[in-house]
Structure 1
């Protein structure tokens, strides 16, 4: 376990055992933490990891006065490697297998579930599976169903990463796990077994306040996705102009302000 102090945010790194995997966790605690506010648990995207959140967790912790927690899913970033093929249920499985262990080992009794892209789907499932723990739900560029734009974006990305230079950039974050990470994304989403996938069942089980944030220029999904999430949960939709699939890198200030405004009323 290591820690450091960055301005007014204390940053701590932990290693948590989840089954046979060691999961890398990072926790940002603001010096002026508001004790009555529950932490925010971040779920990363298909090629993501803690490092690829960049400074978003620290910005969110400082602006919200909340503890922010991010982790590398097994197989990603600095967590243990995997060699298996992801089942079609892998998005729903995260809330059933990994999240309860994190809650137990980190002492999380209640939290805000906040996920980017496929991590948004994991956050939705987590909210539906643990209504007693999840006090609010935030999705960022999440897919709610299979859309032509989504699949075309994945196909284009698969072609892009065939270039050694592009793939080398992926290895900076995942090391020798990069090939598994890439295949876990592209082959899962393009698999026939995934053709009818949607978040509908999970969305029907969400009981907490919800906000679905999406970039107007998102290359992996149209505004149909946040509309569907918001309508299904009775939540709100925010479409960010001139923004693509990664708002936490493209417009972090706006994203943090949007989330903080929502949480000030929701949780």
Structure 2
């Protein structure tokens, strides 16, 4: 795919420190685009850089602005303020995501997240039903199952090998060990064993596209089934055969095509409803 989007890096000053943000705008869109921007929520070891070229591809495929940010403690953003707990998913939706929205004057948005970022995207969709226009989740989990725990145990063991933590330091610097512990220690703790997505997002008002790999090493197909039932609006699923936990890296074209088609259909539906309302009112 030939990429045609501009990129801008910026830092937001907050009461918790600086937050790093990157935004992509399709060429020709000017200072604004007609449709709400897509906000990306990264995974447990992720950051803006680890999205690689996917955000730019997504901006081009959808014709929308795409915004990604490093959560506190990750990537180039400031260290986490220090009160990390099993509430970290709800905290992101209630405390930190609003800082991004306010600083960039984001009113309506599309929430798009991978793995725990998908959980955070769904939680934001539930918390801001009048602003979140659509939700796309990649490899999001709905509960903690044995496959989840086994996958995390294996990853923790792998990062304990000589030289492996340097893979994280490349992106998170001296925060790398905290990043790893925030993921593995939290999810493997007894206090997190009964966590469910429904506890944060009992229902979602906007349309939802659920994308999941058939061979995801962290979550069985029970997860997309439960995720699909959360939305009170249109829900669609894409189960990718031969795919593990990173659909946007393993099958980027299929993810991009599905996401673009889904968002285009939702925009057309909104436009049709608005036209129908205007005609009825006239």
TM-score normalised by length of structure 1:
0.94
- Mark the structure with the bigger radius of gyration: 2
- In structure 2, the gaps of 5 or more residues are 268-282
CA deviations over 1:136-193 (Å, ceiling 9, x no partner): 0111000111111001100110000001222111111111110000000000101111
Q: Corresponding residue for 2:238?
A: 238
Of the structure 1 ranges 78-87 and 51-60, higher mean CA displacement relative to structure 2 is found in 78-87
Whole-Å separation in 2 of the counterparts to 1:138 and 1:12: 23
CA deviations over 1:184-234 (Å, ceiling 9, x no partner): 000010111101100113332310000110011110001111110002225
Whole-Å separation in 2 of the counterparts to 1:117 and 1:190: 16
- Provide the aligned C-alpha RMSD in A: 1.5
SS at match of 1:236: strand
* Residue 254 (structure 2) pairs with residue 254 (structure 1): yes
1:164-179 map, 5 Å: 164-179=162-177
Moved over 6 A (4+): none
Whole-Å separation in 1 of the counterparts to 2:160 and 2:68: 29
Shift of 1:7: 5.3
Whole-Å separation in 2 of the counterparts to 1:251 and 1:166: 26
SS at match of 1:125: helix
Aligned pairs, number: 262
Q: Structure 2 residue aligned with 1:42, among 27, 40, 44?
A: 40
Question: Could you tell me whether the CA contact under 8 Å between 2:3 and 2:60 is conserved in 1?
Answer: no
Q: Corresponding residue for 1:3?
A: none
Q: Corresponding residue for 1:180?
A: 178
Compared CA separation, residues 82 and 203, structure 1 to 2 (3 A): closer
TM-score normalised by length of structure 2:
0.89
Compared CA separation, residues 150 and 7, structure 1 to 2 (3 A): closer
* Residue 11 (structure 2) pairs with residue 15 (structure 1): yes
- In structure 1, the gaps of 5 or more residues are 1-5
Whole-Å separation in 1 of the counterparts to 2:84 and 2:110: 26
* Residue 62 (structure 2) pairs with residue 64 (structure 1): yes
